[in-house]
Structure 1
Amino acid sequence: MRAYSEAIRAWLNRCHAGATRSHEENDHATHVHTEPEQGPVRVIRCEGELDMESVPALERAGQHAALQGGVERLVLDVTGLTFADSRGLNCLIQLHQIVPVILSGPLPSQLLRLLQVTGADAIFPRADNMDAARTM
C-alpha cells in the first residue's frame, strides 16, 4: 500500500508540474480543428496540450459539433496530444455527457495513464485509428 501511495503522489507531482507550464515556455502549440462532415459523426483533431489555456477551444468546438442536428457521436483524434491535465479530462467528460465521445488513437501514453489512474478509461470507447473510430 505504501508503494501505491508513493506512486500516486509522484504521479500527482508530475501532473502538477506539467499543469503549471505556460504555452510560452514550450514548443507545443495547441490546435483544435473540427473536420466538416456529413452524417452522424463529427471529427475533432486535437494537437499539442489540452490544459486550462486550451480547453475553451475544445469546449466550443465540441459543443458546436454536438449540438448540430443529426450528430450521434464525436470522434476525437488525440494522436497529436502531448499533454492533458485534469481540466482537459473534465472537458472530455462534459462533452461525453452531451454526445458519445470516441477517442481515436493510438492514445499518447500520458493521456492513457491519466484515463487509467482516474478510472475514466471505462467511460470512453477507444479506437486504434480514425477509420475504426468513425464506424463505432
Structure 2
Amino acid sequence: MEEHAIMEEHMGADRAPSRVEVLSREGVRVVVMTGEFDIDHLGGLREALDPMAPEVSRYVLDVSGVTFTDSTALSLMLQPALTRPVILAGELPRHLKRLLELTGANRVFTMAPSVEQARMMAVPPHPRRA
C-alpha cells in the first residue's frame, strides 16, 4: 500500500516555509524535508516521523532541501531511530552536518547519497526490533 501526504507551514514573510512530503511504500517511509524546522514549526515533521507508525521498517529523510534545523527538530529526527533504522539521504546542508557532529547524532544515522539508494541499501535491523 502506498501513502502520500504533503504538510506545509508558513512562517511569515522573513522566513521560508517548512514543507514535509511523505511517501510510504513497502515498509519504507520517505520524508522529504524542505525549508526551516524549529521549535515553532514542527507539526508536519512530528506526524511524518511517528516512532510508533505501523508497518514502517525504515525511515529515509531527504534533508538536502533543509535550510535550518534546531535541536528540537533534531530530537524529532532521532525518535524513530530508537526502534528502526533512519537514513539521511542527499547532500547534508552544512549547518545540519555541523549540528550532527556537535551533538554526536551523526553516529546514529546511516547516510546515503540519494533517496533511491537509501530505499534499497542494506542496513542492519535495529537491535531493539531484531
TM-score normalised per structure 2: 0.78
Q: Does 1:68 align with 2:54?
A: yes
Note the 1:77-116 alignment, pairs <5 A. 77-116=62-101
Partner of 1:18: none
How many residues get paired?
A: 112
Q: CA deviation at 1:36?
A: 4.0
Partner of 2:20: 32
Q: CA deviation at 1:60?
A: 0.9
Query: Unaligned stretches of 5+ in structure 2?
Result: 1-9, 122-130
Q: Secondary structure at the match of 1:112?
A: helix
Query: Unaligned stretches of 5+ in structure 1?
Result: 1-21
Identity within the alignment, %: 37
Counterparts of 1:77 and 1:26, CA distance in 2:
24
Higher share of residues assigned strand: 2
Q: Does 1:51 align with 2:38?
A: yes
Q: Which amino acid aligns with 2:16?
A: H
Deviation per residue, 1:86-130 (Å, 9 max, x gap): 101111111212432111011111101100111110110011111
* CA gap 1:49/1:135 in 2 versus in 1, 3 angstroms: same
Q: Secondary structure at the match of 1:24?
A: coil
Q: Please tell me the root mean square deviation across aligned C-alpha atoms, in Å.
A: 1.8
Q: Which amino acid aligns with 1:93?
A: L
Q: CA deviation at 1:25?
A: 5.0
TM-score normalised per structure 1: 0.75
Higher share of residues assigned helix: 1
Q: Which amino acid aligns with 1:67?
A: A
Q: Does 1:124 align with 2:124?
A: no
